[in-house]
Structure 1
Amino acid sequence: FFEIIEVITQPDKKAGRKQLLAEPPIKTEALKYNITVRQPENISDYNLPQTDLIMVIAYAQILPEKILNIPKYGAVNLHGSLLPKYRGAACVQAAILNGDSESGISFIKMDAGIDTGPILINKKMEIKPTGTGGSLYAKLSELGGKFIVPTLSDYIKRKIAPYSQDQTQASYAKKLKKQDGQINWNLPAEKIERFIRAMSPWPGSYSLINTKILKILEAKNKLLKTNKYKIGEIFLYNGFPAIQCGKDALIIEILQLEGKKEISGKDFIKGYFKFIGSILK
């Protein structure tokens, strides 16, 4: 086992509709065990104490070399993809967006690059056909948690020989912004269905109906083989709203109009039948 000297996490931030100050979950957990918590605004300005090892998980700041060089065994990062595939912040969403059948986790020894360091281990897991960004993230987190202690232990005992990533197989998934969730209805329905799942819960997928935002929260993964409507047009299918895509159409199961609660597709038809025939932007 390891002695945790301190936990370093992001500063408390305002959250929710009331914008109340909320602390990161790891801070809450660490304080239960009387572990020192540090929350520097900029990690580059932080004076890290002498330590044997740093374990990094979704920290959201780049650690400078002056910090990486302090620990005796360096810094190990747990990343949510099978590196070198999908380096970067949106690695979980990227696997679903691209229709991958599997994802996984990678433990790497950190260097000055972004997710470019030598690999300690990879562990694979299946992506379910209905998996979302949120559900996959949760499963990868659970998988990673199981391997932190044994991986670090084997690494320190030199039972693991880190190996270089194959740079020719590398790809990058940039950090997502809220506007990245806007749906392009010109794409095939198959890709849009994956997009909706990948963007759930963050940043969420949406479109514009007239001047209002319409969040598309869930669509059936069975596509409609029809192309007779205008691209982006809402039409009725077996009591559900369906939307014409660049190829085929999607049946929408759960959605939310701006300023309203999320509702089922059938309830949307009952309350907003006037939108049948509208074109989403």
Structure 2
Amino acid sequence: MTTKKLDIIFAGTPEFAAKHLEHLIANNYNVIACYTQPDRPAGRGKKLQPSAVKQVALEHNIPVCQPQSLKNEEALTELSSWNADLMIVVAYGLLLPQAALDAPKHGCINVHGSLLPKWRGAAPIQRSVLTGDTETGVTIMQMDIGLDTGDMLLVEKCDITNKDTSGSIYEKLQIIGPKALLKTVDQIAEASITPIKQDNELATYAHKLTKQEALIDWTLSAIEVERKIRGYQPWPVAYTELNGNIVKIWQAEVVSASSKPAGEIISADKSGITVATADGAIKITQLQPQGKKPMSVTDFINGRSDWVTPGNNLLVEAN
């Protein structure tokens, strides 16, 4: 608990942000207002749904603000009217102009899901898995007008194993992120924090994910293909084309080297569907046809054995 109570504005939208807000509330930090994205249509009925952060805020009687933008005078006036000591931003989804960054006494801090300056940008967790990083973490930084370029206030690391998906890393960061945030807020309150500037020469960028990039390129190595399968979970999920149908791939493993052409189906049985890559082969063990739930390879092959005939080449088929 802080030695000096700070009046905090919390800005965030998805579940990841809500976990941080819950941690602040549970530990008696003084959250005076929450900013979150406007309600969005969701579900079959396309009814407007509040964000995860809004739901938590309302449960705890915290005022909620949902401006479309923070760049207009009316929104900035409202933000300033809270006379906050600090604004915490976690996956908010709106750009903060300089006037917003300057509004709280201690400015704005952000919880970013990477070890900055590596993986600045929109999809740091996924890019870490896709490129084979062995560790990641969260960086609490003082926000400035750049894209994740602010001074680092605190860094907490965690390992990435060869079994981790982006989803499992997300869950790990949901545990260490809130703890790191509280530690940072305490240090700000006690004026005991030492900001560290980022080395811009070491910066890499985590560009936003697209559905198109999740299409498996069988001319990559087996190791790279397997990373795609883990890295694109839970969204957009790696996929390939089988017998003219789009099929998502949820689980696979790298198997021994193959002399077959990249993309060729080597074998298909209850142990898995083995496909050659440019270097090695991949054995697929869980798949999801369109309109169906993820299923084991045994269930997939039952009734679909003609989709995975050995000797067929997925590269030719996709073209």
Shorter-chain TM range is over 0.9
Separation (CA, whole Å) in 2 of partners of 1:279 and 1:129: 27
| Equivalent position of 2:226 in the other structure | 193
Deviations 1:247-270 (CA, angstroms, capped at 9, x unpaired): 111111111111223211122122
| Equivalent position of 1:14 in the other structure | 41
| Equivalent position of 1:127 in the other structure | 160
Over aligned residue pairs, what C-alpha RMSD do you find? 1.6
| Equivalent position of 1:163 in the other structure | 196
| Equivalent position of 1:209 in the other structure | 242
Cα distance, 1:67 vs structure 2: 0.3
3-state SS of 1:208 partner:
strand
AA of the residue aligned to 2:301: I
Evaluate the alpha carbon distance shift between residue 74 and residue 268 of structure 1 in structure 2; reply closer, same or farther with a 3 A threshold: same
Separation (CA, whole Å) in 2 of partners of 1:237 and 1:211: 17
Answer with 150-159 or 139-148: which moved more.
150-159
Q: Name structure 1 gaps, 5 residues minimum.
A: none
1:274 aligned to 2:306?
A: yes
The two structures have a TM-score, normalised by structure 2, of 0.83
Evaluate the alpha carbon distance shift between residue 249 and residue 17 of structure 1 in structure 2; reply closer, same or farther with a 3 A threshold: farther
Cα distance, 1:72 vs structure 2: 0.7
1:80 aligned to 2:113?
A: yes
Evaluate the alpha carbon distance shift between residue 275 and residue 13 of structure 1 in structure 2; reply closer, same or farther with a 3 A threshold: same
The count of aligned residue pairs is 279
Answer with 267-276 or 124-133: which moved more.
267-276
| Equivalent position of 2:294 in the other structure | 262
Q: Is the 8 A contact 1:52 1:72 kept in 2?
A: yes
Deviations 1:141-169 (CA, angstroms, capped at 9, x unpaired): 21011122221110232211101101111
Cα distance, 1:233 vs structure 2: 2.6
Deviations 1:165-209 (CA, angstroms, capped at 9, x unpaired): 011111000111222211111100101101110110012111223
3-state SS of 1:217 partner:
strand
Separation (CA, whole Å) in 2 of partners of 1:243 and 1:19: 40
1:60 aligned to 2:96?
A: no
Q: Name structure 2 gaps, 5 residues minimum.
A: 3-28
Answer with 34-43 or 135-144: which moved more.
34-43
Separation (CA, whole Å) in 1 of partners of 2:246 and 2:67: 36
Evaluate the alpha carbon distance shift between residue 17 and residue 51 of structure 1 in structure 2; reply closer, same or farther with a 3 A threshold: same
AA of the residue aligned to 1:58: A
Evaluate the alpha carbon distance shift between residue 64 and residue 233 of structure 1 in structure 2; reply closer, same or farther with a 3 A threshold: same
Separation (CA, whole Å) in 2 of partners of 1:59 and 1:200: 21
Return the match for 2:215 from 179, 182, 196.
182
Q: Is the 8 A contact 1:101 1:127 kept in 2?
A: yes
Cα distance, 1:19 vs structure 2: 3.2
Separation (CA, whole Å) in 2 of partners of 1:71 and 1:41: 20
Q: Is the 8 A contact 1:241 1:266 kept in 2?
A: no
Separation (CA, whole Å) in 2 of partners of 1:254 and 1:17: 27
Separation (CA, whole Å) in 1 of partners of 2:212 and 2:42: 19
Evaluate the alpha carbon distance shift between residue 23 and residue 233 of structure 1 in structure 2; reply closer, same or farther with a 3 A threshold: farther
Answer with 200-209 or 187-196: which moved more.
200-209
Return the match for 1:38 from 48, 65, 68.
65
Cα distance, 1:43 vs structure 2: 2.6
| Equivalent position of 1:246 in the other structure | 278
Answer with 244-253 or 77-86: which moved more.
244-253
Q: What fraction of aligned residue pairs are identical, expressed as a percent?
A: 39
The two structures have a TM-score, normalised by structure 1, of 0.94
| Equivalent position of 2:148 in the other structure | 115
Q: Runs of 4+ in structure 1 displaced over 6 angstroms?
A: none
Q: Is the 8 A contact 2:90 2:111 kept in 1?
A: yes
Answer with 47-56 or 112-121: which moved more.
47-56
**TM alignment of 1:95-114, pairs within 5 A:** 95-114=128-147
1:235 aligned to 2:234?
A: no
Q: Is the 8 A contact 2:151 2:198 kept in 1?
A: yes
